Structure 1
Amino acid sequence: MMKDEIISILRLQCIPNIGEISARKLINYCGSAEGVFKEKKRVLQKIDGIGTKVTQSLYDSRYQLSAEKEYSFVNDNNIQTHYFEDDTYPRYLKHCPDAPLLLFSRGAIRLQRQRIISIVGTRRMTPAGRGFCEKFMEELLPLNPVIVSGFAYGVDICIQKTAADIGLQTVGCLAHGLNQIYPRAHAKYCSLVERNGGFYTEFWSSSKPERVNFLKRNRIIAGISEATVVIESAQKGGSLVTADIAHGYNRDVFAVPGRPEDQFSEGTNTLIKRQKAHLLTSASDLVYHLNWDIDVKAAPVIQKQLFVDLDPTEQSVYKQLQQEGRQMLDDIAMKSNLSIYNTASSLLSLELKGVVRPLPGKCFEVI
């Protein structure tokens, strides 16, 4: 996208009384963001929902200077921009009426043709919650989804660090500009996440991590994926807000149940009780409800061959399954003397070669 068009989009973003919906109306009517500022005031005032107050602000030179300053920051720091009509803009987010006009990103995010799920939860994660996060990521590894979260304390950072550690792509959605990181204690994880995904934000470098920004950020977490999973939550919290937004977007929501007396299961239990979320106890529940187990579009159908070229690791895993029959991922790894990551990667490769198939409960068998 050309410099002048990006600056015009930024200029629209910073003008008071112009939200995402109004900005889209203006751009659609004028053909481009740059075209909005070239159109006559009396013409713009005829657009439904665009009044005198809005059009008066369009010609205030202060907003042009602010937009140019932000563009310089973005350009000088090699930050990527994603306009809502671009191919690089997250495809699920495009369907949300209040999605941001422009997203900023850092890292190596690849969302095209990927399964994408958002995972959120309490900042005061319990040991049981941590255990579930780690187990859940291992179960999802063969399916290779992109894991989206908010890079916050508790469930968010646990799920993103675990995902990156085992080789899954993970994306952190931030509530501030890319010139800072919040919480500061998580700065040490930035390079890990950027090597295995990256960060999205709609906020400028002048934006601070204020409460209202976290609430706005939650709609991106909910909108960017095909489903949202809540692992632990008290009766109130940001993760429930995210779940509610996802439900409003008509996306699947999942919640991990807990004992009625547990404080950080109150929110998830309520979501399930009110039928706003599917009950989730393992990755197989996610796979079943999202039809990932019968998703023939995710990978080409490969006929089983009599002779298939396998590398040494694949041969070891295949031989183990052939001798022992149906087994769980953990058992295959232990008996083959391989790490969980290497075993899961080999199983995915064997599945694509048409010689192994996955089963519910992270089990696998030879075809």
Structure 2
Amino acid sequence: MSNPSENLKYELALSLVPKIGPAVFRSILAHAGSAKGFLDITKGKASKISRISSSIIEIRKQFEDNLPKADQIISQCIKKDIGIISFSSDDYPLRLKNIDDFPLIMFKKGKCDLNPTRSVGIVGTRTCTEYGKSVTRKIIEDLAPYKPTIISGLAYGIDIEAHRAALQLDLPTIAFMGSSVDKIYPSAHASIAKEMCHSGGLASEYLPGSTMHPSNFPQRNRLIAGLSDAIVVVEAAIKGGALITAEIAYGYNKEVFAVPGNLQSPHSEGCNKLISKMKASIYTGVSDIEEALSWSKEDPQTSKFTKEKAWSQLPKEDQLILNILKEKGELDIDQLSLQTELNISELASKLLSLEFEGLIRAKPGKRYGLG
């Protein structure tokens, strides 16, 4: 495989091609071996990549034309102390790798470990009540012994209250931005964002310096949902970002909780609706999260979110490959074909995909072992 810095440049350039979405991006890596390899493979092989067969020449040209821009973005990020995470890098968030709409490239400020041991997303309305603020602080205070990373969106209301409470309790907290990480929005939260970077930080899929659009905010909510082991909605109106996040998390099969509220309060309509439609469990206390996620107050490092824990999100045939390698140790491709009953062509494609995700390693002689 290519070296990490080369992967970063080429994956960044590929991500800038307008027609390249998550499914096509993953398919290109699987067929070509790497983003760089996409420029080298034959047109015949490239034509087998789903959804781009009629646009191969155009896409390759755009990709190659984007390489100087990728260099400029990398240089700009170095100057601004912004980290770039490519899909094939070791620090790409495992929790996001297998969602259909994963971000192709991510940017971060601060420590910002996007593979935290435990994580809880706290979301709610921007126009929260004092009760909502108090409940948010209580939830995070009760969560503190479990040492999770607190995930939210840096917005007014419940979001910023969650970040503040996490900082006060020395818990790492990460904000997924609807803006680029070098443009703090809202600007009133710049000092808190700076403080967050000491143990957590900011993350975004938007290029540094890019224009902020209103559609960015509902789009980023899928990342809050995806990176969180559980989502807690504290207060939410009948429509809004918090409900979008909860709906997405429900679709991702995450644990979703909602704090029930006064039937006459517009700030609780969203939470009560989630509960009534059985898209969220009633949050009554931290024991609800502890039971749902099988957490204990022991050192969470003993239950680290590992690559093996990500296996359960993979297709069954991919899980079969990993389990065979775990049981048998290193095997060559012919042995794996016999064990899995997959033909060589199909197996090779799956092995490449698993290698890009860091779950297996290719060895000399077409042998494979766990990563």
State the distance in 2 between where 1:120 and 1:223 align: 13
Residue 331 of structure 1 corresponds to: none
1:284 aligns with 2:310: no
Q: Which runs of 5+ in 2 are unaligned?
A: 304-371
* Equivalent residue runs for 1:248-263 within 5 Å: 248-263=251-266
State the distance in 1 between where 2:114 and 2:8 align: 22
- CA RMSD, Structure 1 to Structure 2 (Å): 2.0
Residue 6 of structure 1 corresponds to: 8
Residue 210 of structure 1 corresponds to: 213
Deviation string 1:131-185 (CA, Å, 9 cap, x unpaired) is 1011111111111110000111111011001101210110011122222111111
Residue 22 of structure 1 corresponds to: 24
Give the alignment's TM-score, normalised by structure 2: 0.76
1:73 aligns with 2:76: yes
1:209 partner SS: coil
1:121 aligns with 2:124: yes
Q: 1:109 deviation in Å?
A: 2.4
Question: Alpha carbons of 1:190 and 1:294: their partners in 2 closer, same or farther (altered >3 Å)?
Answer: closer
The worse-fitting range, judged by mean Cα deviation, of 127-136 and 48-57 is 48-57
Deviation string 1:230-278 (CA, Å, 9 cap, x unpaired) is 1110000011111111111111111111011110100010001000011
Q: Which runs of 5+ in 1 are unaligned?
A: 301-367
Q: Does the CA contact (< 8 Å) of 2:235 and 2:270 recur in 1?
A: yes
Higher RCO (C-alpha 8 Å, min separation 6): 2
State the distance in 2 between where 1:216 and 1:72 align: 27
* Equivalent residue runs for 1:94-173 within 5 Å: 94-110=97-113, 112=115, 114-173=117-176
Q: Does the CA contact (< 8 Å) of 2:84 and 2:105 recur in 1?
A: yes
Q: Does the CA contact (< 8 Å) of 2:147 and 2:300 recur in 1?
A: no
The worse-fitting range, judged by mean Cα deviation, of 286-295 and 130-139 is 286-295
Question: Alpha carbons of 1:76 and 1:41: their partners in 2 closer, same or farther (altered >3 Å)?
Answer: farther
Give the alignment's TM-score, normalised by structure 1: 0.77
Q: Does the CA contact (< 8 Å) of 1:256 and 1:268 recur in 2?
A: yes
State the distance in 2 between where 1:245 and 1:57 align: 31
State the distance in 1 between where 2:76 and 2:291 align: 45
* One-letter identity of the residue aligned with 2:49: I
Residue 180 of structure 2 corresponds to: 177
* One-letter identity of the residue aligned with 2:154: F
When the two structures are aligned, how many residues end up with a matched partner? 300
1:34 aligns with 2:6: no
Question: Alpha carbons of 1:51 and 1:2: their partners in 2 closer, same or farther (altered >3 Å)?
Answer: same
From 242, 252, 262, the equivalent of 2:245 is 242
1:59 partner SS: helix
Residue 231 of structure 1 corresponds to: 234
Residue 47 of structure 2 corresponds to: 45
- The structure having more radius of gyration, on CA atoms, is 1
Q: 1:113 deviation in Å?
A: 5.8
Q: Does the CA contact (< 8 Å) of 2:32 and 2:41 recur in 1?
A: yes
Q: 1:101 deviation in Å?
A: 2.1
Q: Does the CA contact (< 8 Å) of 1:121 and 1:156 recur in 2?
A: yes
Q: 1:110 deviation in Å?
A: 3.3
* One-letter identity of the residue aligned with 2:42: K
State the distance in 2 between where 1:259 and 1:196 align: 36
1:134 partner SS: helix
Question: Alpha carbons of 1:63 and 1:83: their partners in 2 closer, same or farther (altered >3 Å)?
Answer: closer
1:222 partner SS: helix
Residue 369 of structure 2 corresponds to: none
State the distance in 2 between where 1:138 and 1:96 align: 30
Identity %: 36
Question: Alpha carbons of 1:86 and 1:62: their partners in 2 closer, same or farther (altered >3 Å)?
Answer: closer
2:179 partner SS: coil
* One-letter identity of the residue aligned with 2:32: C
The worse-fitting range, judged by mean Cα deviation, of 26-35 and 72-81 is 72-81
* One-letter identity of the residue aligned with 1:68: D
Q: 1:293 deviation in Å?
A: 3.8
Question: Alpha carbons of 1:7 and 1:296: their partners in 2 closer, same or farther (altered >3 Å)?
Answer: closer
Q: 1:295 deviation in Å?
A: 8.2
1:82 partner SS: strand
State the distance in 1 between where 2:87 and 2:49 align: 21
The worse-fitting range, judged by mean Cα deviation, of 133-142 and 112-121 is 112-121
State the distance in 1 between where 2:216 and 2:131 align: 30
1:24 partner SS: helix
Q: 1:294 deviation in Å?
A: 8.8
The worse-fitting range, judged by mean Cα deviation, of 59-68 and 128-137 is 59-68
